[in-house]
Amino acid sequence: MSELLRAPAEIKYAEELDWLESIDDNPKPFSWRLSPKMVRLFILGSERADGLDREVSQKWFGDRSFVERSIVTLASDRGLLLIGDPGTGKSWLAELLSAAICRNSTLVVQGTAGTTEDHIKYSWNVSMVIAKGQSRESMIPSPIMTAMETGAIGRFEELTRSTSDVQDALISILSEKYVSVPELESGGGDDNIVFAKPGFSIIATANSRDRGVNDLSSALKRRFNFVRIPVVTNKKSEAEIVRFRTEELLRRHAIDLDVPPTLLDVLLQSFADLRASAAAAGSDDEKLESALSTAEQIGVLEDAVLHGNFFGERALTARTLASSLVGSLTRREPEDLAILNKYLHGVVEPRSKEEGGAWPEFLEGGRDAIATLS
């Protein structure tokens, strides 16, 4: 088991990145560690036709043109804004991109209502300022400023959660590519200006459900290229994602437990059904509050696996899966419960009669969970 609870991508895939770097002979923009094609290969995985000596696994699942457009944006003058519903893999893609390009995916600013301009630019170490006065030493650079200084990729998570004035601090960083520090005197050198090195860019993510909370100004919009990541609806690739992430998760928790393929099917099918019903719903009260994203599915499965491992018979059963599904998707009382109840009786019950398999047990578990909650 690693020392880290969750290793960032550049540590987790360090060896693979080293190897890719060693065989990469394509031209690299700026100070990138890998060429754009290799970045794509790292993220989307290799195929036999690529003629590589070893296999590179696929790490992000989705349309290849999204990845291509993202990489190309980072090689251009503009920042990249990944936008999409929660749980569509935006942050994961951002992490993979920065790990592949500059081997550092930890220069992250988390956008919240409490984020201030200091978090984007710099702040001061007060005691040092008292002791030595304002100087470069007493300045605490933000992750973004660090990225500028090192020519790396800075990440801004949930850009739309921070207030507009804070967002607009990014405008000058993205267009002038420097930050001036007026507190320092311009004595001789460029001490009061921090210039960005080549290779610096920003990947921001925004949640499309937050639209309207803190809308981006058009000046900032102009400086970002938007790449919209849709919810995965293709069942095959969704199964792939869930399997991939769950395996990773089980490895992290060092749990030795099988996820039976039939249960995976049950999970995918139930999410597909719930999405269909949400799409058909007329008002917000008729659909679940959850976005029903792939990440949510992984959450449900993780919950069930952990429950099964620590409290159950060290096996994943349809009953635990159902109760964790009900537990995770119930956010509002009684609307969500009513929808799930309707789903269980309207869809799962006929199906369990027709198809059998794991469905009857799933129905049973779901009913119990709803009875407990209501």
Binding residues for another protein (CB under 8 A): 36-37, 40, 47, 49, 64-65, 68-69, 71-73, 75-78, 83, 206, 208, 211, 216, 218, 221-222, 225-228
Of the pair 47, 284, the CB lying nearest another protein is at 47
Are 160 and 206 a contacting pair, CB within 8 Å? yes
CA distances from 224 to 83, 111, 217 (A): 11, 16, 11
Of the pair 139, 204, the CB lying nearest another protein is at 204
**Cα–Cα nearest to 298, from 318, 321, 317, 323:** 321
Least distance CB 212 / another protein (angstroms): 10
Furthest-apart CA pair in the chain: how many Å?
82
Phi-psi region of 216 (alpha: psi -120 to 50; beta: other; left: phi over 0): beta
Least distance CB 118 / another protein (angstroms): 27
Of the pair 76, 116, the CB lying nearest another protein is at 76
Q: What is the dihedral of CA 208, 247, 241, 78, to 10 degrees?
A: 50
Q: Tell me the C-alpha distance between 140 and 54, whole Å.
A: 42
Least distance CB 40 / another protein (angstroms): 7
β-bridge partners, 157: 110
Per DSSP, 86 falls in state T
Q: Tell me the C-alpha distance between 67 and 36, whole Å.
A: 10
Least distance CB 213 / another protein (angstroms): 12
Least distance CB 365 / another protein (angstroms): 32
Kindly report whether the peptide bond that precedes residue 29 is cis, defined as omega within 30 degrees of 0.
no
For residue 205, give the 3-state DSSP assignment: strand
Q: Tell me the C-alpha distance between 97 and 235, whole Å.
A: 25
Q: Tell me the C-alpha distance between 283 and 17, whole Å.
A: 48
Of the pair 139, 159, the CB lying nearest another protein is at 159
Q: DSSP string spanning 207-238?
A: EGGGTTTSPPPHHHHHHEEEEEEPPP--HHHH
Q: Tell me the C-alpha distance between 201 and 199, whole Å.
A: 6
Amino acid at 138: S
Of the pair 72, 128, the CB lying nearest another protein is at 72
Least distance CB 218 / another protein (angstroms): 5
Of the pair 78, 345, the CB lying nearest another protein is at 78
Of the pair 73, 277, the CB lying nearest another protein is at 73
Of the pair 216, 321, the CB lying nearest another protein is at 216
Least distance CB 257 / another protein (angstroms): 34
- Residue 226's CB: how many other CB atoms inside 10 A? 15
Of the pair 100, 181, the CB lying nearest another protein is at 100
Least distance CB 90 / another protein (angstroms): 13
Least distance CB 9 / another protein (angstroms): 21
Least distance CB 282 / another protein (angstroms): 19
Of the pair 167, 309, the CB lying nearest another protein is at 167
Cα three-residue angle 119-295-303, rounded to 5 degrees: 110
